Amino acid sequence: MYIDVLLELKNKQLDQTYTYKVPVFLEKEIKVGKRVRIPFNHRELEGYILSVKDSCEKNFEILEVLDVIDEEIVLNNELLKIGTFMKDTYLCSLSSAFAIMLPSALKASLKTNVNKKFETYLSMAIEYKKAISLCTSERQIDIVNGIKKAGFLQKSEANKISVSSVNTLLKKKIIIEQKEEVYRLQNKSREQDVKKVLNEEQKIAFDAIVENLKKHHKFLLHGVTGSGKTEIYMQVIEEVINRNQTAIVLVPEISLTPQFVSNFKARFQDNVAVLHSGLSQGEKYDEWRKITRKEVQIVIGARSAIFAPLNNLGIIIVDEEHSDSYKQENSPRYHAIEVAEFRAEINEIPLVLGSATPTLERMAKTTKNLYTRLELKNRVNKNLLPICISIDMAQEIKKGNSIISERLKTEIEASLSRQEQIILLLNRRGFATTITCSNCGFTYKCPNCDITLTYHKTNHSLRCHYCGYTTFKKENCPDCKENLNFYGLGTEKLEQIVKELFPDIKVLRMDADTTRKKNSYETIVEKFKSGEYNLLLGTQMISKGLDFPRVSLVGVINADESLNIPDFRSGEKTFSLLYQAAGRAGRKDTLGTVVLQTYNPNNPILKCVEEQSYEKFYMYEMNIRKKLKYPPYYFLVSLKITSKEYEECSKEATKVANYLKKKISDTSIVLGPTTANVFKVNNIYRFNIVVKYRFDDALFPVLKELDKLFVLNKKVSLEIDVNPVKI
Ligand code: ADP
Ligand code: ZN
């Protein structure tokens, strides 16, 4: 018996199969999708079995497999197919695709000690009366009685009574101990949540999906914020599991934490496994095994949960379809929705994508009937969408209100007097964005990156938000010893200003700095939900899918912030962020108010937010995309050329661009090379090339060629990003 093995290395040069001979004693264990240990170049490596065959034509010496690693198959047929799809679509190596499908606890190369977790239980070895008669102390009797009561006792609990008594009882063989495997994430007992009666709009959407449960059909569930999309997902999933099938639900990393998961667990109890990056390796490994052992039918998770090894999949649901978090920003640069489309297609099952602000790409597909659009125009219980007011900050500054406008201040006061809650959005963390000397012009810049450092007041540090470089602020300008000035506004400073303006209220701040610790995000959400705090301020994190019934006012401090990002999607991102943030206001019974502070009150995108009109935004933005030849009218591939050496990097980038121009179709457009937005990160120079194309048979073969070429280049690297979300 011979097998073809793919090495478990990310090295693109070695991304091919190698043939090995199977010694007879291992033959029984060999199966496609298991991993083996093999000799390679005088080393011992691991690899995936991709095929098994009886003979081998090669006439040189073939080495023997050393060992089979897995008892069970780790890459089933479906995952193997998805791997090939990813290799073809994203030009990544097959082994890098497989690597992200498996929990890292499985990877021996990491030398992790993550393993199954065991709990030791004590139980009776002899009859109860006899046991009691053999006890020589009060505490031994307590332990025996404890075991009698429930039939068993956790050893750790018994040890709390007395370690020596436990040992004596064990030695005398009065009790015995048994190790049992336990999962790290235990489902705490919860209230059973009851299914809601769907309203008319929900029912229409539900019926449309359920009618197509046995077919491959793609749906875009376009529902305003608070329209009850999650309830539809849950009821559809109930149908699916009643048919003995399974379901994957993807949500953005950030909304995974408290509410969404607990809603699902309240409805489906132990039938849910959860996968996200907040879990420890051990927890991930356990959740993964619940899936492979077929103990759960529902998997909820972030991006990589699309690879959950569920069998008999019945539906894939992706909530907040517009979220950037579905795209992986390093190799393999896959988009979970594209993988979901493929997986739904090969399983012949429906795919449901939900959003209040669908991406233009997806929306455009509904007009071509590639997706069926299901609309929820109303909030559950017919609550109205909030009223939106724009404030021209140029006028406010003249009045001396540079950060919080007069109107926002009065609205905050009004909300407070009604004992309602307030959310303030400022999409920039830290205290001040730059510190500058007005005398000599000195600014603190990152020595590794082409960017200014952000001042964080809590520990007086200056930090680079790209590479993490940290330094400390001097009292005066390091160059000329004059005073230093703060410019720009971050959430930390906003917090200080709000506290000064409203000294009696309780304020919470949520941003990357206050949510670093495990569970801190949940803690902030729970604290705010409890009603003990009046105001929550933070970055975009606060705008994502949170449901705070007592919030009646949302203030956007600098609505222009993301409009100024140099990316063709900045308008779309801004609309989505502000529309979603606005959606946090007035979710229950109260009519919400949204105050947008801006220096561009006539900006068309902000006008669309003000009117809460996705349709207007869609028409406006599609028109621009058409004129500028951007998606959804054109497809994009971005090529990133990076190097420690500037000259070399620039030269290679130009060569690549010229080569592309020569080789690909003349209906395609090659832009660049240009320097990246942040030109230098971590001392690495970055150039970008963007290819816009519609139909181009020559493009992918040329990209593959370039990719191969650069694998051998030690000085300059090339990374290809197919359908990039940021350029
Ligand atoms: P979305 O995800 O569309 O923003 P949610 O799913 O968060 O909306 O729903 C908003 C609220 O409405 C939730 O508290 C949910 O429990 C409730 N809800 C959803 N559907 C119904 C229904 N048919 N009847 C009553 N309440 C509902
Ligand atoms: Zn830096």
E strand or H helix that includes residue 16:
none
What is the spatial distance between Cα 429 and Cα 211, in angstroms, rounded to a whole number? 46
Q: Which of 119-123, 627-631, 651-655 is predicted with the least confidence, judged by mean pLDDT?
A: 119-123
pLDDT of residue 404: 94
pLDDT of residue 107: 60
- For residue 302, the one-letter residue type is A
Whether 184 shows a pLDDT value over 90: the answer reads: no
Whether 614 shows a pLDDT value over 90: the answer reads: yes
Q: Kindly give the distance from the C-alpha atom of residue 580 to the centroid of ligand 1, in angstroms, as a whole number.
A: 16
Q: What is the mean pLDDT of residues 602-611?
A: 93
> Would you identify the CATH topology of the domain 2-110?
GIY-YIG endonuclease (3.40.1440)
Say if residues 536 and 498 touch (Cβ distance below 8 Å).
no
What is the spatial distance between Cα 658 and Cα 635, in angstroms, rounded to a whole number? 20
Ligand 1 contacts CB of residue 194 (under 6 A)? no
Q: What is the mean pLDDT of residues 573-587?
A: 85
Q: Any idea which residue has 């229950």 for tokens? A: 588
Burial of 225 (C-beta count, 10 Å sphere; 0-12/13-18/19+): buried
Domain 635-722 sits in CATH at 3.30.70.600
Say if residues 434 and 443 touch (Cβ distance below 8 Å).
yes
Closest atom, ligand 1, to C-alpha of 545: 4
pLDDT of residue 112: 43
Ligand 1 contacts CB of residue 226 (under 6 A)? yes
- Taking each helix axis from N to C end, the angle separating 604-611 and 614-628, rounded to the nearest 10 degrees, works out to 160
* 199-230 pLDDT tens trace: 999 999 999 999 999 899 999 999 998 899 99
* 434-451 pLDDT tens trace: 788 877 878 888 888 777
* 670-697 pLDDT tens trace: 998 988 877 888 999 999 999 999 999 9
Q: Residue length, the chain?
A: 727
For ligand 1, atom 4: residue with the closest CA:
226
Ligand 1 contacts CB of residue 354 (under 6 A)? no
Paired sense of beta strands 272-275 and 313-318, if any: unpaired
Whether 111 shows a pLDDT value over 50: the answer reads: no
pLDDT of residue 368: 94
- For residue 27, the one-letter residue type is E
What the block records as the tokens of 634 is 């054109």
What number of other Cβ atoms are within 10 A of residue 380's Cβ?
19
pLDDT of residue 564: 73
pLDDT of residue 670: 94
Ligand 1 contacts CB of residue 436 (under 6 A)? no
Whether 708 shows a pLDDT value over 80: the answer reads: yes
pLDDT of residue 148: 84
Relative to the alpha carbon of 469, which ligand is closest?
A: 2
Whether 246 shows a pLDDT value over 80: the answer reads: yes
Domain residue spans of the chain: 2-110, 118-181, 200-376, 387-429+490-625, 635-722
Whether 113 shows a pLDDT value over 70: the answer reads: no
Ligand 1 contacts CB of residue 547 (under 6 A)? yes
Give 503's pLDDT tier (boundaries 50, 70, 90).
very high
Claim: this prediction has a pTM higher than 0.75: yes
The strand order across the sheet containing 35-40 reads 17-21, 2-7, 43-53, 35-40, 67-68
What is the spatial distance between Cα 311 and Cα 27, in angstroms, rounded to a whole number? 26
What the block records as the tokens of 601 is 């009150």
* 255-307 pLDDT tens trace: 666 667 888 888 998 899 998 877 777 888 888 889 988 999 999 999 999 99
Closest atom, ligand 1, to C-alpha of 319: 2
Angle at 58 between CA 53 and CA 64, to 5 degrees: 65
Q: What is the mean pLDDT of residues 640-656?
A: 95
Per-residue buried b or exposed e for 389-410, using 16+ beta carbons within 10 Å of the residue's own CB: ebbebeebeeeebebbbebbee
Bigger pLDDT: 381 vs 468: 468
Relative to the alpha carbon of 583, which ligand is closest?
A: 1
Enumerate long-range contacts of 42-49, CB under 8 Å, 24 or more apart. 45/7, 45/8, 45/9, 46/7, 46/8, 46/108, 46/109, 47/5, 47/6, 47/7, 47/8, 47/18, 48/5, 48/6, 48/8, 48/74, 48/75, 48/95, 48/98, 49/3, 49/4, 49/5
> Would you identify the CATH topology of the domain 387-429+490-625?
Rossmann fold (3.40.50)
* 16-68 pLDDT tens trace: 899 999 999 999 999 999 999 999 988 999 999 999 999 887 767 889 999 99
In the three-class reduction of DSSP (H, G, I as helix; E, B as strand; rest coil), residue 177 is classed as strand
Homologous superfamily assigned to 200-376: P-loop containing nucleotide triphosphate hydrolases (3.40.50.300)
Q: Kindly give the distance from the C-alpha atom of residue 96 to the centroid of ligand 2, in angstroms, as a whole number.
A: 27
Kindly list the distances between the CA atom of residue 671 and the CA atoms of 687, 688, 715, in Å, as whole numbers in the listed order: 11, 9, 23
Ligand 1 contacts CB of residue 227 (under 6 A)? yes
Whether 96 shows a pLDDT value over 60: the answer reads: yes
How far is C-alpha 590 from the geometric centre of its chain's CA atoms?
Answer: 32
Ligand 1 contacts CB of residue 380 (under 6 A)? yes
Ligand 1 contacts CB of residue 177 (under 6 A)? no
What's the chain's average pLDDT? 89
Q: Kindly give the distance from the C-alpha atom of residue 206 to the centroid of ligand 1, in angstroms, as a whole number.
A: 14
In the three-class reduction of DSSP (H, G, I as helix; E, B as strand; rest coil), residue 327 is classed as strand
Q: What is the mean pLDDT of residues 246-250?
A: 97
Highest mean pLDDT, choosing among 136-140, 436-440, 558-562 = 136-140
* 301-335 pLDDT tens trace: 999 999 999 999 999 999 999 999 999 999 899 99
Q: Which of 114-118, 638-642, 681-685 is predicted with the least confidence, judged by mean pLDDT?
A: 114-118
Whether 585 shows a pLDDT value over 50: the answer reads: yes
For ligand 1, atom 23: residue with the closest CA:
198
Q: Any idea which residue has 């109107």 for tokens? A: 407
User: For residue 253, what is the DSSP state?
Assistant: G
pLDDT of residue 463: 87
Q: Up-side HSE of residue 451: CA atoms within 13 Å toward CB?
A: 25
What is the spatial distance between Cα 22 and Cα 375, in angstroms, rounded to a whole number? 57
E strand or H helix that includes residue 326:
none
Q: What is the mean pLDDT of residues 344-361?
A: 97
Ligand 1 contacts CB of residue 383 (under 6 A)? no
pLDDT of residue 256: 62
* Extended strands (E) in 544-584: 551-556
* 371-410 pLDDT tens trace: 999 999 998 877 777 889 999 998 998 888 889 999 999 9
What is the spatial distance between Cα 559 and Cα 609, in angstroms, rounded to a whole number? 10
Closest atom, ligand 1, to C-alpha of 227: 3
What number of other Cβ atoms are within 10 A of residue 11's Cβ?
11
Nearest CA-CA partner of 6 in 69, 104, 16: 16
Say if residues 543 and 581 touch (Cβ distance below 8 Å).
yes
